Structure 1
Amino acid sequence: MTQPIDLYYWPTPNGWKISIMLEETETPYNVIPVDITAGDQFHSEFLTISPNNKMPAIVDPDGPDGQPMSLFESGAILIYLGEKTGHFLPSNPRERYLVTQWLMFQMGGVGPMLGQAHHFRQYAPEQIPYAIDRYTNEATRLYRVLNKQLGETEYVAGDYSIADIAIFPWILPYERQGQNLADYPHLQRWFDTINARPAVQRGLAILPDRRVSQNMDDRARENLFGTRQMEQR
């Protein structure tokens, strides 16, 4: 019998990527909360799994060689789960590279840039107009790239794949990024289609009351954005 995967998780866009993938592939898993506002990400036990002190991470007791396998970085986890389950990651090389390039687009652009838009629009202790404009404009540019692509394909790389699963959670809080989906009709169509998938809704429904609030206290702010991130470990 398949042993469940341990998912180290908190309800953020990166965490949702993996909970959605696990739900989509009907892979058994246990949720191990990593409260990033309380500093759980700095615990030594977690750092042995995720040395960059970021969640999500997984431990698969049945790795490729039959031995336990731990992984951090959500993009790597999506590739691993795609290969393990045989779903949402094509075996055909051409199709696989198309999916991989859009996954890298999310990892290198959508996540970091929209994350900065979130930070300077919602969480920064002071309003910095240059930073707000810089990252809101970059969010707009990335939305336009996606909208153009989705005017030509049903999903970002053709068929539904780990690329869609990676990008969707970052579009979910579009208003926080200064965006209006009505401005991007093809992206809106894609968004509504994915949002209606039962597995996606199940993946989003894990620890829904634990989402990070912009009204966080000083301790949470220190754990997320302060000097605790800079400490040597």
Structure 2
Amino acid sequence: MSARTSAPPPPALTQWERHTEIPLLAAALVFLAGYAFRVLAPHDAQPWHDLSLALVGATWLLFIVDYAVRLRLSRLGHRFWRVHWLDTLVLILPLLRPLRMVQVYTAVQKKRDRPRLGLYARVISYAGMTAVLLGFSAALSVYHWEHDAPGASIRTFGDAVWWACATLTTVGYGDVVPVTTAGRIIAAGLMACGLGLLGAVTGSFSSWLIQVFRREDEKEPPASG
């Protein structure tokens, strides 16, 4: 890795990301709500379908503006998409935006000092929130592609939620499975994300327990001779 890519980000980029973190999270929830309505609402639910489409388009445009600003502030030029590949991926597929929360786990792992116990709790919370949002997004997408497909076993949104839970936790009962090409691609991505999220949660929980035990040992008075 070159010195430029390993250098800390410019202050302007850091400040932009700090100021836009909460608004973009809210926009991601609005995008998910709009997409959910378009998938689950009856086809004759007008004008709500048009409103949900406008919300999805507006939030996607907001994500594009944020990406363009961060591209300019990073000073990486054409290498931005390679260094920030996850940001590029969630721009193309906004339903994967919850995956950006995993960057918090990476930041904790890179700390060289002993992290506070609260940081581990935050990582576990972020990973859990990511799992819920990602599972819901996958359930919506699979239901969208599968419920009308010939020979499909995922006929209702409840079937899709059950499938997402089983896939995300890597259980895989096999009672409901996607039959379309798009559904299987979504399933493969959810399997990979499930493994990564489980690793983040279990790794952080183990580190948290080690920190707890170490602090308890430090509190014990030395044994008398």
Q: TM-score, normalised by structure 2?
A: 0.31
Question: Greater Rg, structure 1 or structure 2?
Answer: 2
Structure with greater proportional strand content: 1
Q: Determine which structure has greater relative contact order: mean sequence separation of CA pairs < 8 Å that are 6+ residues apart, divided by chain length.
A: 1
Structure with greater proportional helix content: 2
Q: TM-score, normalised by structure 1?
A: 0.31
